[in-house]
Structure 1
């Protein structure tokens, strides 16, 4: 399917690896010019080269922390008027809510709520003027289903979702859509770290822990960055102009809700 994205420009935050990389690759395959981003310059440049080689797309690498004003300025200098913005950022590590201090809570809200709002504010005006814009926020299943130890991440991402519920309807008539994509258990570096730590804490081998987790998922497997990226690319396409304000779960059926 032609997604109608040839010649469009896209900023994909935190895209040197994992789900962000999957989104960047899928958008490049669809014909977009891409700005990829990460904090590890070596990893980022390797990713940019891989996407160029695989797709022939124009790929600009911006090594920066998107949670900072300087990082956001660097991204927007590389692509001042993106047609597509993929908001993605690492969340705070798992921690009991009683162990969170004030500064840690503030930092978590900056990472997972304030940062995507700031990037949206900087990008959406040009999108509205052009009559086309796609904003995707990669959040988490924890927005709709509590996950132990992720209270701060859940609260910040849920705050972002609620903040944008009205915004998305304000801009829909200008051809701009805003949606959230909620990953379930995806085979990424972050998940592997979680598996390693959790299996040790429970006295299980990593293999046994993975088997237990996958047995709980109706699809009986972890998801992967490639299929996640394809979902993201479709939501950015010309075919998805009537989809906005939605929270799309990519979880293999893990959340047992009818609605």
Structure 2
């Protein structure tokens, strides 16, 4: 399917690996010029070279922490007026809510709520003026279904979801859509880190832990960055202009709800 976005400019935050990389690959495949971002320059450059080798698009790599004012300035200097913005950022580490202090809570909210809102503020006026814009926020299934130890991440992402629910309706008539993708158990470094903790706590092997967790998912497998990226690319396409303010679960059926 031709997504109709060839030649569009896309910023994809935290895209050197994992789900962000999956989104960058899919958008590049659709013909978008992509601006990549990450804090590890080596990983970022490797991803940039991989995309350049596969697709005939312009790839710009910006090594910066997108949660800082300086990092955002560098990113927007590389692409002042993007047509597409994919908000993504690492969440705070798994931690019991009772041990969180004010500093940790403020940092988590900055990472997963304030930062994406600031980037939306920076790019949305131009999107509205030109009559086209696509904003996709990578949040988490935990916005819908609590996950022990991820209370801070879940709370901040839920705040982002509620904040942008109203904004998405304000700009829908100007050709700009804002949607969220809620990943479940995706086969990424973050999930594998959880497996390692489970191995330590249970005494089971890595294969046993993986098999047990996959068995809990109706699809009987973990998701992957490639299919996640394709979903993101579709939401950014000309075919998704009537989809806005939505939370799209990619969880293999793990969330046990009808709505």
- When normalised by structure 1's length, the TM-score is 0.99
Contiguous gaps of at least 5 residues in structure 1 = none
- For residues 154-165 of structure 1, what are the structure 2 equivalents within 5 Å? 154-165=154-165
1:217 CA drift (Å): 0.3
Contiguous gaps of at least 5 residues in structure 2 = none
1:42 CA drift (Å): 0.7
Match of 1:69 in 2: 69
Q: How many residues align?
A: 259
- For residues 116-155 of structure 1, what are the structure 2 equivalents within 5 Å? 116-155=116-155
Structure 1 counterpart SS, 2:5: coil
Q: Deviations over 1:121-142 (max 9, x none)?
A: 0000000000000000000000
Q: Deviations over 1:52-90 (max 9, x none)?
A: 101121100000000000000000000000000000000
Correspondence 1:110 to 2:110: yes
Correspondence 1:80 to 2:80: yes
Match of 1:203 in 2: 203
Q: Partners of 1:74 and 1:164 in 2: how far apart? A: 24
1:213 CA drift (Å): 0.4
Match of 1:14 in 2: 14
Moved over 3 A (4+): none
Q: Partners of 2:24 and 2:92 in 1: how far apart? A: 23
Match of 1:170 in 2: 170
Q: Deviations over 1:163-207 (max 9, x none)?
A: 011000000000000000000000011111111112211221111
1:10 CA drift (Å): 0.2
Q: Partners of 1:51 and 1:256 in 2: how far apart? A: 37
Q: Partners of 1:51 and 1:257 in 2: how far apart? A: 37
Q: Partners of 1:54 and 1:211 in 2: how far apart? A: 33
Match of 1:258 in 2: 258
Match of 1:25 in 2: 25
Structure 1 counterpart SS, 2:129: helix
Q: Partners of 1:18 and 1:67 in 2: how far apart? A: 18
Higher mean C-alpha deviation, range 229-238 or range 203-212: 203-212
Higher mean C-alpha deviation, range 201-210 or range 136-145: 201-210
RMSD between aligned alpha carbons?
Answer: 0.5
Q: Partners of 1:70 and 1:185 in 2: how far apart? A: 32
Q: Partners of 2:201 and 2:156 in 1: how far apart? A: 27
Structure 2 counterpart SS, 1:242: coil
